[in-house]
Amino acid sequence: MIIKICFVCHGNICRSPMAEFWFKELLRQRGIENEYVVESRATSTEEIGNPPHRGTIRKLAEYGIVPAGKRAIQLTRADYEKYDLIIGMDSANMRNILRITGPDKQNKVRKLPEFAGSGKDIADPWYTGDFDETFADISEGCDGLLKFLGIQK
């Protein structure tokens, strides 16, 4: 069975594509990328159709990752049924995800830092300009997600 995961942030140009492509890389390193579908979405319409932010592209490039072809897409109500996990980056994302998808009756909607045992929000580098801090938090959350899914490091 293929597990489908969707990372979500406000615009789908900074945090969620960073998480999407980093998690895909972690799966690739373990040789299990074909067992998962990993995508990302936005809660807003502001950046729809735009590529990832240059800061996200630069940070991923440090690890040899190129988010080729990625364009911002908005989350839809239908995505709730499509994905097994919908993972937001901050508290505002969580509220907006539920506004779009409706009630989380299947407990699919989670905040990424929860997987690392934290209740904090992942700061939006669109505002902070700190893509390194954002990547560190996303990396920690993705490591926790691997453990949650039963995937060894």
pLDDT score of 52 more than 70: yes
The secondary structure element, H or E, covering residue 120 is none
Give me the catalytic one of 9, 79, 90, 142.
9
- Report the amino acid identity of residue 40: S
pLDDT classification of 148: cutoffs 50, 70, 90: very high
Using the Cα atoms of residue 74, residue 10, residue 52 and residue 120 in order, give the sign of their dihedral. negative
Give me the catalytic one of 14, 41, 110, 124.
124
Residue 9 is among the residues annotated as catalytic for this protein: yes
pTM for this prediction: 0.97
pLDDT in tens, 114-128: 999 999 999 999 999
Domain 3-148: which topology? Rossmann fold (3.40.50)
* pLDDT score at 153: 64
pLDDT score of 145 more than 70: yes
Q: Which residue has the tokens 């990372």?
A: 7
Quote the percentage of the chain above a pLDDT of 90: 98
Give me the catalytic one of 6, 14, 15, 110.
15
* pLDDT score at 51: 98
Kindly state the average pLDDT of the residues 48-67: 98
Mapping DSSP to helix (H, G, I), strand (E, B) and coil, where does residue 129 land? coil
Q: Where are the domains of the chain?
A: 3-148
